Amino acid sequence: EPEVTQTPSHQVTQMGQEVILRCVPISNHLYFYWYRQILGQKVEFLVSFYNNEISEKSEIFDDQFSVERPDGSNFTLKIRSTKLEDSAMYFCASGTEYSNQPQHFGDGTRLSIL
């Protein structure tokens, strides 16, 4: 069964450094998402992406965040200058439709900011 894959599984970064989280969505999916989950809390939406542009973004997704689909398979989340509060699990998801269809999630990247 096709799945969303994310790398790395764990990223440790010094505060203020840039980090790039990588995702390979399911191949025939057109809609891509990033979510985050702070330890012990619920999953929170960050951004959705379709046709090479952002469709929606939450208040969390400020100027420090950016997304990119650099080629036909990868989807990346960049945090320009990391803060301690960026420590969380970051999940990539993809779907066949914008709404009313399930989104399929990867197993996440655990980001630890020191």
Partner 1 sequence: GESVGLHLPTLSVQEGDNSIINCAYSNSASDYFIWYKQESGKGPQFIIDIRSNMDKRQGQRVTVLLNKTVKHLSLQIAATQPGDSAVYFCAENRGSQGNLIFGKGTKLSVKP
Minimum Å distance from CB 16 to partner 1? 28
Residues that bind partner 1 in the complex, under the rule CB under 8 A: 4, 6, 31, 33, 35, 41-45, 48, 50, 55-56, 58, 91, 95, 98-100, 102-108
Distances 88 to 15, 30, 73, 100, 105 between C-alpha atoms, Å = 14, 26, 24, 27, 16
Taking the least distance from each CB to partner 1, the nearer of 33 and 75 is 33
Taking the least distance from each CB to partner 1, the nearer of 45 and 66 is 45
- Check: CB of residue 61 under 8 Å from CB of residue 33: no
